[in-house]
Amino acid sequence: MSADNKKNSVMTRLGRDTQGNVAMMFSLSVLGLLTVVGAAIDYSGMTKAKVSLQAQVDAGVLAAARLQPTKGRLTVKNSDRKTVVNEVMAQNGFDAATGKTIIRIANPTITVKAQSDYKTAFMGMIGKSTVKIGAKAQSQINAGGTLEIALVLDNTGSMTINGKLDALKVGAKGLLGTLESFPADKVTVSIVPFARYVNVGSDKRDATWLDMPDEYTVTRNEPVTTTTGGTPANCTETGVMLTGQRDGASYQYPEKSCTGGSAGTSTTTNEDRDYTAEWTGCVGVRPAGLHIEDSTYSTAVPGLTGFEAKERKADGLDRRNNCPRAITALTNDFPKLKSDIDALRGGGNTYMPIGIAWGTRVLSPGEPFAQASATAKDVRKLMIVMTDGNNTIHLDTPPYLDSNNASTSTTLEENANKDTVTACNNAKASGFEVITIAFQVTDKKTKTMLGECASSRKNYFDAGDNAKLIATFEKIGARLNEVRLTQ
């Protein structure tokens, strides 16, 4: 065999011998697969370790932020706060020997960063025997202080349509459920239902800041008509939906067609009827300017009876003054707060300034409501204002608020909107944080106004339907729950 033929024969045999190639490729494939699987396992472990590290940092920064001065001191040393961070993190499993922390304190915030080495199980095969993981938390110093909240809630007639009031109750009680989990001595809540007027509670009748109205009964001899006999008409729905208005909000109802029936026989006689003017807690407004101020109670808040007889009025007309449920003063009695939310009812027209003014009064120390604490670094005061529509009432002749009329409604609403913003500014000037919720509001001017009322852009919420209102209260609750951790 020639040399060339021998060479070709050897090359042919080598080309046919694939056992070595297969073994090599199989080994490489297994190594790659093990690397991928191992990396996934290490990644899962790193994620768990990072979650654990974050929990350690959170616990440390919260404990340091809540630290109170020792007896005889007015402040807490920064060194003491740093010591607490390290101690609490160690108690929660942080190993200072293999990790490190950076603690920065710039009143009123404390920031903690932590870093630790995670030992990999498989990634060492590609040169990664350890991976650094980190976590960061920041809190307001004394974030564990007292939280006082006023829920200023629209209870007008438009809230009774389209399931709005039910959604409010679900959302508000959800928020209360979150707050109920806070330490009992760290949170109190007030409920301020508003419509045209506000109800301060009938127990305030002897208050020095109240101008208590006269209570009386008038008897009138009036015709009374009674009907006997007759049959009801037969009414069925036509399938057509009609649109109605209630306090500026639209709602739909089915059209009905009625046939048959008879009126019966009517008889009219004169009878004495009693009308009683009784005060049950309803209050009107003080003169312009003072109606949204929390000061100068030498000018008393005017009380309004539910009924005012024409015999005692110059215009010769009876007046009906409707009020929502009474304000619930600041309390940590959450079963009562939830019960009071369940008892809310809708009726009347909208005047936001009166609700915001009384929310401010509830959060202010001293009369008219004296449950609030003095404003201090460790006291956070928050007003949550929820409304479903425009201002349909305006300030005219105190103590009364009057309905806007068609010819001047734009100007009257603008005036009420200005009062709304002023009332919000008064609250903010007092150091209160304001959150506003526009609930199914379609008017752009009202939305702009509510945005201006809020303390910041993130404090304004636009809840376009019932589900979004409930979700908004959930978001606020989550934010308050996390307020101690601002990052």
- Element spanning 52, H or E: helix 19-66
- The vertex-452 CA angle with 451 and 453, nearest 5°, equals 90
Q: What is the CA radius of gyration of the chain?
A: 35
Q: Which domains are assigned to the chain?
A: 19-140 (no CATH), 146-215+282-481 (3.40.50.410), 219-276 (no CATH)
CA–CA distance, 485 with 65 (Å, rounded to integer): 10
Residue 85, amino acid: V
**Whole-prediction pTM value?**
0.71
Tell me the pLDDT of the chain (487 aa) as tens digits: 555 554 455 444 544 554 555 555 545 454 555 555 556 676 777 888 888 899 999 888 888 877 776 655 656 788 888 999 999 999 998 988 888 899 998 866 889 999 988 877 666 565 667 788 899 988 876 555 789 999 999 999 999 999 999 999 999 999 999 999 888 888 999 999 999 999 999 999 999 999 999 999 999 999 999 999 889 999 999 999 898 888 777 788 899 999 988 888 999 999 999 999 999 999 999 998 999 999 889 999 999 999 999 998 888 899 999 899 999 999 999 999 999 999 999 999 999 999 999 999 999 999 999 999 987 767 889 999 999 989 999 998 899 998 887 667 778 999 999 999 999 999 999 999 999 999 999 999 999 999 999 999 999 999 999 999 999 999 999 888 765 555 4
DSSP state, residue 250: E
Between the CA of residue 71 and those of 65, 68, 429, what are the distances in Å? 18, 9, 32
